[in-house]
Copies of this chain bind each other. A is one copy, B any other.
Amino acid sequence: MTTDPLTTWSDGPAKQAIVEFVRSVHGDGSSPAVPVEQRVAVFDNDGTLWCEKPMPIQLDFILRRLVEMAEAQPELRDRQPWKAAYERDYGWLGAVVAEHYAGDDTNVATVLGGIVAAHHGISVEDFEQQADAFLHDAQHPTLGVRYLETAYAPMIELLGFLRANGFANYIASGGGRDFMRPISQELYGIPRERVIGSSTSLSYTEDVAGGTITRQADADVLDDGPEKPVRIWSRTGRRPLLAAGNSNGDVPMLEFTFHTDLPTLRLLILHDDAEREFAYTTGADEALARARADGWTVVSMERDWATVF
């Protein structure tokens, strides 16, 4: 290659690992090229492709909907999680997350109940319109830009580099599949059929205009942890060659990205750049330990990224 394929990446071991991996996929004197149909790459979204602090973007979307509901139905204002949303009591929500990391999911069920109720009973098309409008309009609370501008430039460049080398890129996120679909092509060049994520149950009812698919008030798939390899297999029928994640929930997906006879690359994004983004390892401790033990490629945002956004 005569030109730098990754100008937003600083020279260093992570960039080198990516370039060498892509080169190896094309084969050399001793190994054949990997067939194009096997070039599958999977990416977590929150904290891997776009910013997840101070809260996941979809959580903001849901909280705003809970506020709307509490404004329309005053009796909800005394019930969690509507109460916290209505009173902007982010401390209560933060405590639930802290309890979760400490192994106590008592209040997680309460929050999940609100999440699935927030968009219950609307058609998938209407939900998509709401998500699309939110993602194009809403501002990040501290970075001073719209949410769509909090996607990481080096990861977008990596997606393009892989695509140019015959890869099919998939999102494999714990976030909502139907929340990301309206913007995945525009933002990441990933078509909607390659978005894998969590979903609520959906129900089909017939009508005169082609039937309607409606969101139900219960979770169907929570695409995290050991469910990620299962959903990747179910969607693609393949083990990926490359996976990128940033948290403990990505460990099984990274582990699953393995072939005895083909090149593979596992990237773990490390949030260590408080100046340009956020610095945190909560929820990533097991992933970092596995990366160090098994030689996965840790991507330091501070060291490896020339620009972040």
Contact = CB atoms under 8 A, between A and B. Distances in A.
B199 A124 contact: no
Contacts of A213: 229-230, 233, 256
A226 to B, nearest CB: 4
A181 B237 contact: yes
A113 interface: no
A210 B259 contact: yes
A238 B257 CA distance: 28
A185 B38 CA distance: 13
A199 B234 contact: yes
A209 interface: yes
Contact of A255 (B211, B255, B257): B211
A37 to B, nearest CB: 6
Contacts of A260: 209
Interface string A162-179: 000000100000000110
Given A202-B234, A229-B213, A230-B202, A191 B37 contact: yes
A119 interface: no
B210 A252 contact: no
A307 interface: no
A209 B252 contact: no
A285 B257 CA distance: 47
B193 A252 contact: no
B258 A210 contact: yes
Interface of A: 37, 124, 168, 177-178, 181, 185, 191-193, 195, 199, 202-206, 209-211, 213, 226-227, 229-230, 233-239, 252, 255-260
The 4 closest A-B pairs by CB, nearest first: A210-B258, A192-B237, A204-B226, A204-B229
Given A204-B252, A213-B230, A235-B235, 6 more contacts: A168-B193, A202-B234, A206-B255, A209-B258, A211-B229, A211-B255
